[in-house]
Chains A and B, each alone.
Chain A
């Protein structure tokens, strides 16, 4: 079941922000860019002036050297003090913006999501509160697990509904970057980072892993589906359910193949909230996702068949090995996976 998150926002221009933190960054970026542009124009003017005003007029002219000036304290003081003043302005803008974004308190009904980076996909846990710990802080436990496509509710200025991301990594460093929603933050093993999103418009937002993480860094793509609150709730309710077992004989055979080979060693399909280890994306509601392989191809029958034959065709260097399935098995597993709505 594909839930609509319209429109597609493929053009990820950081100067068209659609989220509160991205807007704050955008505003300071504009100020800084304009100051830099002004400095650029002034210095270019000075450079062009000396270049066009003082060229040598030929060998005759060269016989006499120009007046030899060794420096001027006043002028040098001027072009030391003015840059210092500009720098002070830039520092004020910067520090203010850093604190505004980094140290902001999240409101009560924030959506809490934990994202774990893997070579080359995203593991996503939606969190729910579970009492308080010894320090009086809310404890968060996994509500349900999904992968690669982050669904979050749209926020508004009247009713802020931000999403707080808790970023971790299972292997190497990755970085979560959706330019229209916020700047990037790294996902680092043994080190939990935080960032927040507060989208003001619905849509499917595009982004990329922004820290080189290995062979398929390029196709560790990010998709964020920003939905209305109702759509989001509907989607979340479906994710919490166990998938319904299909009666289609081909799919049933595919289910058997899935368990017969070692698919289950890496991929999890059931409703249990705390799996022991996840090496590959959770497939519980695989058919509800729009893309395969962390965004490398659309999740349709043709691409899925190709992926089952050999994942390295669509995503060379992906950690999933070629499972050497027979053509029948490929079709059976594909049919099975497509029942996981």
Chain B
């Protein structure tokens, strides 16, 4: 305990009642722990593990998609199989990879960063995890159990935003769409439960001295994200229920054959879907807010403005949904409104990017793995943000909408942005969770291979989009000028796949063989580094007391504490 405010209790004082079958180290105790745990740290790791599991599955589907598109008129995948693959890839990546992993980080870190012993509602926390997990199982079960009618398909094949009326009974026979609907509905319940939990935890469980103005930015960002989830998920759940009513009880909300509105679905979906983009990327920002200062050896630049920008992004993101609908024939006034609101998001997002650069300016940057991925994040998210501005220009979007440019754009957001932040976060907090550092050499191979592969795959897709290639096509004609871009794109997958393989190997290898980390390997400043690695079930023996935004800085620099300046 170099800098700890707490010390681990010595062996003599541990009195844990051991029930039969729960003896430490036995299979049965391990299984019981896995299924019955309500510990926020274990649930957090389980969320991340499940997310990574589905990441590998959905990633393999993407690899198959890229093989199919490597050359024109390829017949590696039947069109129906291809359509299921991109639907399952998108749905899984958003709902079963992105959401669980970010919730995993929040679960693990929010209580411990605010000096709490667990979430406010530990059992609801476990409920949230398990229902999310089972929603994933349900979605993938469609491959085995959905085809009930002759000629009906197996997995959902309506795209991840499932535009009506393609989902109506007339066009989607069998039960594949129902698996999609019910899985999303279930996952949504889990997300809302966990978010309510995070809000209550943040508001009620902060340790002594941890005012809102002293909360780590990670927690601040998560408070905002949790509110955004609670606002955005209900419209999604509502339209899933409406769709099910349409399909089985003769309602006609979206059924155009009976006078329903196809556009209504789009409004419902995107008023969820656009805040969802920020629900996914803000936790990436949250990780940046913690990693960049530690490895630049400076406090975050402009803390109050960072909080304000986060709230602004969340607020504006609730009023931009129809920029996904510039081509549905809105009036010029409607198109202008959503173009303007969308461009306004660029302002607070830009402030964040500049403040991270401000944090690095004048620092002593340590190029450890978390910082490498953070720098990757900054470059790639810059590109993603600027292509986002281009898409916000409605007339430009009339060309780019539903083209490969959009595919490139959101993969830069979600891989170049979110996934890089997740990698940074995993390399950063792995030593806290498991007590050992991840191997740096393997990590660097992962970083460079994955970065090369990522840009090879997705940069050419911008150009294919400029050249008129629409998304979601299972094949394309020869001679349209798209061959080279697609081939480069597919080659990039090889690099990405090796990178991910090395990452998984590193995760497992470092569990046993990694360098012992100690409590505070990065010389960081937030409360999670004040306890043991891994932390005890109760996180802190004594409730910590905080006097500034960087409690461990105060502890390490008693002559120059932060609280003098805040």
Q: A69-B301, A172-B165, A186-B327 are in contact. Are A102 and B332 (CB under 8 A)?
A: yes
Q: How far is the CB of A306 from chain B (nearest CB, A)?
A: 15
3 smallest A-B Cβ distances: which pairs?
A183-B398, A12-B468, A218-B473
A216 to B396, CA, bound (A): 27
A103 to B305, CA, bound (A): 41
Is B171 interfacial (CB 8 A cutoff)? yes
Question: Is B367 in contact with A55, judged by CB distance below 8 angstroms?
Answer: yes
Which of B38-46, B206-214, B218-226, B339-347 lies on the face that meets chain A?
B339-347
Q: How far is the CB of B171 from chain A (nearest CB, A)?
A: 6
Question: Is B329 in contact with A65, judged by CB distance below 8 angstroms?
Answer: no
Question: Is B398 in contact with A25, judged by CB distance below 8 angstroms?
Answer: yes
Q: A40-B383, A70-B565, A194-B329 are in contact. Are A51 and B165 (CB under 8 A)?
A: no
Q: How far is the CB of B204 from chain A (nearest CB, A)?
A: 28
Contact residues of B between 342 and 369, Cβ < 8 Å to A: 343-344, 346-347, 350-351, 353-355, 357-358, 360-367
* A–B Cβ pairs within 8 angstroms, 19 of them: A56-B297, A66-B298, A66-B363, A68-B560, A76-B351, A83-B347, A83-B350, A87-B344, A94-B336, A95-B336, A102-B335, A172-B165, A188-B262, A188-B329, A208-B473, A212-B83, A218-B472, A218-B475, A295-B477
Residue of B nearest to A99 (CB): B332
A11 to B257, CA, bound (A): 37
Which of A26-34, A256-264, A330-338 lies on the face that meets chain B?
A26-34
Question: Is B467 in contact with A14, judged by CB distance below 8 angstroms?
Answer: yes
A3 to B363, CA, bound (A): 70
Question: Is B395 in contact with A80, judged by CB distance below 8 angstroms?
Answer: no
A32 to B388, CA, bound (A): 11
Question: Is B396 in contact with A25, judged by CB distance below 8 angstroms?
Answer: yes
Q: Which of B327, B366, B382, B557 has the most CB of A within 10 A?
A: B327
Is A157 interfacial (CB 8 A cutoff)? no
Set of chain A residues within 8 Å of B395, measured between Cβ atoms: 24-25, 28-29, 94, 97-98, 101, 183
Question: Is B340 in contact with A91, judged by CB distance below 8 angstroms?
Answer: yes
Set of chain B residues within 8 Å of A185, measured between Cβ atoms: 327, 329, 398
Residue of A nearest to B87 (CB): A212
Q: How far is the CB of A186 from chain B (nearest CB, A)?
A: 5
Residue of B nearest to A8 (CB): B479
Is B241 interfacial (CB 8 A cutoff)? no
Question: Is B360 in contact with A32, judged by CB distance below 8 angstroms?
Answer: no
Q: A28-B395, A98-B335, A98-B394 are in contact. Are A55 and B378 (CB under 8 A)?
A: no
Question: Is A84 in contact with B398, judged by CB distance below 8 angstroms?
Answer: no
Q: How far is the CB of A222 from chain B (nearest CB, A)?
A: 10
A8 to B75, CA, bound (A): 26
Q: How far is the CB of A213 from chain B (nearest CB, A)?
A: 7
Question: Is B382 in contact with A54, judged by CB distance below 8 angstroms?
Answer: no
Is A323 interfacial (CB 8 A cutoff)? no
Which of A42-50, A235-243, A246-254 lies on the face that meets chain B?
A42-50
Residue of A nearest to B468 (CB): A12
A179 to B399, CA, bound (A): 6
Q: A56-B365, A83-B350, A102-B335 are in contact. Are A14 and B468 (CB under 8 A)?
A: yes
Is A182 interfacial (CB 8 A cutoff)? yes
Set of chain A residues within 8 Å of B328, measured between Cβ atoms: 186, 188, 191, 193
A12 to B482, CA, bound (A): 10
Question: Is A11 in contact with B166, judged by CB distance below 8 angstroms?
Answer: no
Is B122 interfacial (CB 8 A cutoff)? no
Q: How far is the CB of A277 from chain B (nearest CB, A)?
A: 13
Proximity string of chain B (410-421) to chain A, C-beta cutoff 8 Å, 1 when within and 0 when not: 000000000000
A14 to B468, CA, bound (A): 7
Question: Is A188 in contact with B297, judged by CB distance below 8 angstroms?
Answer: no
Q: A71-B301, A98-B394 are in contact. Are A184 and B399 (CB under 8 A)?
A: yes
A22 to B400, CA, bound (A): 12
Q: How far is the CB of A264 from chain B (nearest CB, A)?
A: 23
Set of chain B residues within 8 Å of A24, measured between Cβ atoms: 395
Question: Is A10 in contact with B480, judged by CB distance below 8 angstroms?
Answer: yes
Q: How far is the CB of A101 from chain B (nearest CB, A)?
A: 6
Set of chain B residues within 8 Å of A206, measured between Cβ atoms: 468, 477, 480
Q: Interface on B for A, CB 8 Å cutoff?
A: 78-80, 83, 157, 159, 163, 165-166, 170-171, 256-257, 259-263, 296-299, 301-305, 327-329, 331-332, 335-336, 339-340, 343-344, 346-347, 350-351, 353-355, 357-358, 360-367, 375, 378-379, 382-383, 386-387, 389-390, 392-403, 466-477, 479-481, 557, 560, 562, 565-566
Is A122 interfacial (CB 8 A cutoff)? no
Set of chain B residues within 8 Å of A70, measured between Cβ atoms: 299, 301-303, 565-566
A93 to B340, CA, bound (A): 11
Cβ-defined partner of B79 (8 Å) among A13, A14, A188, A317: A317
Is A75 interfacial (CB 8 A cutoff)? yes
A66 to B299, CA, bound (A): 10
Q: Which of B80, B399, B479 has the most CB of A within 10 A?
A: B399
Residue of B nearest to A15 (CB): B466
Cβ-defined partner of B357 (8 Å) among A33, A50, A98, A207: A50
Question: Is A218 in contact with B79, judged by CB distance below 8 angstroms?
Answer: yes
Residue of B nearest to A187 (CB): B329
Q: A36-B386, A70-B299 are in contact. Are A61 and B402 (CB under 8 A)?
A: no
Question: Is A13 in contact with B468, judged by CB distance below 8 angstroms?
Answer: yes
A102 to B302, CA, bound (A): 43
Question: Is A84 in contact with B347, judged by CB distance below 8 angstroms?
Answer: yes
Cβ-defined partner of A47 (8 Å) among B262, B378, B390, B471: B378
Set of chain A residues within 8 Å of B477, measured between Cβ atoms: 10, 206, 221, 295
Question: Is B390 in contact with A55, judged by CB distance below 8 angstroms?
Answer: no
Cβ-defined partner of A29 (8 Å) among B331, B353, B393: B393
Set of chain A residues within 8 Å of B354, measured between Cβ atoms: 46, 76, 79
Residue of B nearest to A46 (CB): B357
**16 additional contacts (CB under 8 A) given A68-B298, A98-B332:** A10-B479, A22-B399, A29-B396, A66-B298, A70-B565, A71-B301, A71-B305, A76-B351, A84-B347, A91-B339, A91-B340, A97-B393, A193-B329, A206-B468, A208-B473, A221-B477
